[in-house]
Amino acid sequence: MINYNRLGYEIKRDLANFSEKISNGLKRPQSKFLLQMIYGILAGNKLHLSEIARSLNENITLKKTIDRLSRNLSAFKEKETVMKNYISEVKKQINEENAVIIIDNSDITKPCSPKMEAISDVHDGSTGEIRKEYFTVETAVLSQNEKMPLPVYEKVFSAAEKGFISATHENLQCLKSLSAHFAKNCVRTLDRGFDANDYYRYFLKNDEKFVIRSKKNRNVIYNGKTQNIMDVAGNYKGNYRMDFKDKHGKKIECKISYIPVQLCEFPNKTLVLVAVYGFGAQPMLLLTNLDLSEKKKLCMIATKVYLMRWRIEECSKRIFDVPKFIFYGLGYAIERVLARTHSGIKGFLLKKEQSQQLTLAECFAELGFK
């Protein structure tokens, strides 16, 4: 039988310890507010202040709790400090020399909320409909052992908001943030939406490692001639045979080719086109600046790195039919456990009093012993 009180206590203790680490440098009221928000979001499983306030279960009216959280949220200016502390904790879980960083764009559709602040109209090319939505750029770094995605950057933006420049600008801001926190050798892996000269220019200028899935209409320089990338890949049917698993865990037999190419805009920079046959009727085309003398190993690493993207894609949407998808299950379990405790987080907000008892060392010091 599950002891929910004990389990709830352990979860709250871990949350309090985590909050204390990322609150380093904050004043006590700010630290308390941060812990309350983290707990409220997990316990209520929602981002509405009313639900966060309700989860705190305080001995005052709900309105007073909501008003206090609202004031503290408006006054909170320590995001950079918290993020710096958080990144420091993340780095303890990764190999900083060659970690895999997954970068992804997504969207948040709000068909029933057309009046939300700065929501934009977006044309859906597949249906011809106009959708109300926001865009996101999100990034996770994979932990060293379990290869679990640890979020390190996320921003929601809209073409309708004041000061908006472009989606490319928002993505480049994300890349700059990663450059400030992570080494150049950490491999950035990106989908076809990032197959654009702005991103290649950024990575090549900063000498950062990347694996980008190419679009089928890209032209490259091969053997001194400009050709379509699909035509170049068509000259190769697979130098190496490797087995991988798709996002559902199914074994896929792949044939992979190693092809040196240059981009038309950067003819002096040789990249490797990794053509992967086996995931569909057409090859998956990966462009990378990974530098390894062993071609087969480079092909294997580039392919594995890109396939790891599926881990963050799982985090960005709820997939009920993936048996090993644990994040939503874990979040739901935490919510259920905390809902049974009925005591909120106030027991962990009390200031720790310094013990009035002398330690053994202090006793000896008082007696003149050293």
Mean pLDDT, rounded, for 160-180: 95
| Cα-to-chain-centroid distance, residue 72 | 26
Q: Is residue 181 within 8 Å of 152, Cβ to Cβ?
A: yes
Phi (first) and psi of residue 14, to 5 degrees: -65, -40
Residue type at 150 in one-letter notation: L
Q: Dump pLDDT digits (tens) for 275-285.
A: 999 888 899 99
Rounded to two decimals, the pTM is: 0.84
Mean pLDDT, rounded, for 230-254: 86
Domains within the chain, CATH numbers bracketed: 4-80+340-362 (no CATH), 93-183+311-325 (no CATH), 184-307 (3.90.350.10)
Position 370 pLDDT exceeds 60: no
Q: Name the nearest CA neighbour of 199 among 172, 222, 226, 219.
A: 172
Which of 140-149, 176-185, 208-217, 228-237 is least confident? 140-149
Q: pLDDT band for position 344 (50/70/90)?
A: confident
- Per-chain mean pLDDT for the chain: 87
Position 353 pLDDT exceeds 50: no
Position 311 pLDDT exceeds 80: no
Cβ-in-10-Å burial (0-12, 13-18, 19+) of 102 comes to buried
Q: Dump pLDDT digits (tens) for 18-51.
A: 999 999 999 999 999 999 999 999 998 888 999 9
Position 76 pLDDT exceeds 90: yes
